[in-house]
Chain A
Amino acid sequence: MGEFIISIKELSYSYTNGRQFAFKDLNASIPAHSITSILGRNGAGKTTLLLIILGYLKTVHGTIQYYNPKSTEGQKGEILQIAYLPQVETAPEAMSVYDYLLMGRIPYISPFMQPNKKDTNIVNNYAKIIEIDHLLEYPLGKISGGELQRVRFGRALVQESDLILLDEPITHLDLNAKQTMMRLIKYLKSLGKTIIFTTHDPVEALEIADHALLVSNDHKIKFGKATDILTDKNLSDCFDLPIRILFSGNSFGCIVEKRT
């Protein structure tokens, strides 16, 4: 089994200081160079878990350790470069796509310095790869929702981080954009990155994820290989609906059977 990147042990988190837990005693080892999806109903705590992995929220109990897969000195708890795409962003509408992408270079540029040629080239390269280079001069307020999502994605790319966290990146997109986004996430994996994304659609998880964290309302979290975890039974328990997963050769579908 390859080196892993995040080791979560006995993780517990509570919204209300110990009285009500979002989840308890989570154990998971997320491997490097893989896609993990956090799946669950709305309000189950997916975003919370993502923010904890980001380090933005502090845990009540338990530990998370991060291992840099590029480190040759064995496994140490080094901080990784993490890129994060929240569900909703407050990026200014007047900012141009190009300038927004350039924001991804912030970790590499100290406060009193300005971006240089290398940064510019990186932005242009990635913009070309994900096919948004025709949008570079436009302000963020003037592009479509799907284009905006790709742009935000581009910013995470430009950040050239090892770990990428995405909060519901696919959920609100139309069918075409969904396909594009899933392709982009797989592209990230091909670059050797580790991706964790949240969703409440089992199909997205099944299509692209290697591993899954299934968050149920009873605060039990199951972690493991996607195909192992995302079974009809587990999904039905989680969503409290009779769910059946269909597989038609190369893609998945999800059926909710009608109660009779």
Chain B
Amino acid sequence: MSIKQKYLITILVFFVLIFIATFAGRYQSASGVLDYKSDPLFKRLVFDIRIPRIILSIIVGAGLAASGLIMQTIFQNSLADPGILGINQAAGFGAALGYILFPTSNLPIRVIAFVSGIFALFLIILISRQINVYRRLSLIFAGIAVSAFFSAGLGLIKYLADPLNQLPSIVFWLLGSLSTTNWQAVAEITPISVACIITLFLLRWRTNAYALNDSILHSMGIKRNLEIYAVLSISVLLTTVIISYTGLIGWVGLIIPNIARLIFGYDLRRSLPSAIIIGAIFVLISDTMARTLVAGEIPLGIITAFFGALIFVILMFAKGNSLQKNG
């Protein structure tokens, strides 16, 4: 199958799913699915609840997948994603801290989440350089340490939060959810996220280059470290803005990039746009399930973890098999 065909199918699936998601929900209009006119409440519901949620789930999926792919490419490690590296946990910690300190305003939450994320990135790079093991493992070890550190911090915040006032909100939010999404949330999250995604998209070919030796890039006039920090910072901004709103949603940044590379190839010019769409599809499906399967809201993070882990195992089998076949 050619690349063009693959793209076509992916985009087709994407639009079909948007269509389905618009009509899926706990409330079914009594007079039929397409009848907006005789049921104004249904129309309101679709336009003011379902559609903002669909938009945000697309952005969340696109953003987390893009961020994961960029990190995996820069670190040359197909297990590197914001979740494994502890950036998610840091963003969660920062957002929870921001929520406790500034319960009435959203901006400090996003800012503190971002600062935590950057700090985590800095720690990851610092620690993985000190660890003297096989290169790929050192990053993972650093990620485990940083993850644990911020998870502990988060636990501390949960402990300190007044149980009647703030804790219940924090705990459900931590599991990852889009349940409170409305147009205001879309207005808050979308501009920065889309700006970051577009920036990463424009940098897609350039980011391939960072895999080359520092000396080679120097010969081409490129300041490799500077550019890498810049690109990673944009990735971290994208991730933390999303996580600070949705709570901890993992696995998207880990498995979607691997799927995109498997189908579309290594080059970011192909794998990045496809990761963006496939990520959007994945979270769109997951969130539609979260709000439709049962009466209660299922935390989105749980659904992405469930399917994410499943797909992860399948991917490992596939990679293992292909390694064996090619000897």
Contact = CB atoms under 8 A, between A and B. Distances in A.
B216 A99 contact: no
Given A89-B216, A111-B206, A115-B205, A95 B221 contact: no
A92 to B, nearest CB: 5
Contact of B269 (A83, A92, A109, A114): A114
Nearest to A141: B326
B245 to A, nearest CB: 27
A86 B269 CA distance: 26
- The number of chain A residues touching the other chain, given as a range, is 20 to 34
A121 to B, nearest CB: 17
B267 A96 contact: yes
A99 B218 contact: no
Interface of B: 76, 202-206, 208-209, 211-213, 215-222, 227, 261, 265-267, 269
Interface in A93-111: 94-96, 99, 103, 106-107, 109, 111
A120 B211 CA distance: 20
9 tightest Cβ-Cβ pairs between the two chains A and B: A84-B219, A94-B266, A112-B202, A107-B220, A92-B211, A111-B206, A82-B219, A106-B220, A99-B267
A161 B265 CA distance: 30
Chain B at the A interface: SS class: helix
A18 B204 CA distance: 43
Interface string A80-91: 001111100111
A177 B204 CA distance: 35
A99 B265 CA distance: 11
Given A82-B219, A84-B218, A96-B267, 14 more contacts: A54-B215, A89-B216, A90-B211, A90-B212, A94-B266, A95-B266, A107-B220, A111-B206, A111-B227, A112-B202, A113-B202, A113-B205, A114-B204, A165-B219
B213 A86 contact: yes
Contacts of A91: 211-212
A185 to B, nearest CB: 17
A132 to B, nearest CB: 18
Contacts of A136: none
Nearest to A57: B215
A112 B218 CA distance: 18
B211 A51 contact: no
Contact of B216 (A86, A112, A115): A86
Given A96-B266, A114-B205, A90 B213 contact: yes
A216 interface: no
Contact of A51 (B206, B215, B217, B220): B215
Contact of A89 (B203, B213, B265, B267): B213
A173 to B, nearest CB: 20
B222 A56 contact: no
A253 interface: no
